Amino acid sequence: MTDDHEKDYAFITALLGFLADGDDRDDLRWHRDRATGQLRFAILMSDVFDWGSADDEEVTVESLADLQRAYADCSAIDARTGPDYGGMLYAARRRGMRPQGAVYPRNRAFWPLFDACGPERPTEFNNPYRPGEGQGARHVSY
């Protein structure tokens, strides 16, 4: 096995293991890059940033620690429901953008994490609700 294959294997094992341990496998997407032949991984973000959109946020060797940190930050607020928002927080931080208001967690204790990701978003076509309004587009509410 070459060094690159060993790094790829270590990354894939770490990513899949992390998501499996948290029972969050359903949001993972992957494909083979036709140009490079490399496997690419991403967390599903459909309807998180723009209403009615298909979207995802790539996870790389370099960003895996950021994904793990986002899950840990959400779990620190609520160990039971926090992991439901880890992927969303990861993507919001990477983009420097708040999610659309409809997918903000019902538990307002999470809001400062998402508010810190970017400026307040205007209510418009792709963000039809302010945080706390129109709940339920994506995540389970407890």
Mean pLDDT score of the chain, rounded to an integer? Answer: 89
140 confidence band (pLDDT: 50, 70, 90): very low
CA separation for the pair 108, 132 (Å, rounded)? 8
CA separation for the pair 81, 95 (Å, rounded)? 23
Every domain of the chain and the residues it spans: 3-115
pTM of the model: 0.89
142 pLDDT more than 50: no
Q: Residue 6's pLDDT is what?
A: 85
What pLDDT, in 10s, does the model give residues 40-60?
A: 999 999 999 998 889 999 999
The H or E element spanning position 28 is strand 28-32
CA separation for the pair 95, 109 (Å, rounded)? 21
Per the document, the length of the chain is 142
Average pLDDT over residues 111-115: 97
Q: Can you say whether residue 129 is alpha, beta or left, with left for phi > 0 and alpha for psi between -120 and 50 degrees?
A: beta
Average pLDDT over residues 111-132: 93
What residues are paired with 32 via a beta bridge? 39
What residues are paired with 59 via a beta bridge? 41
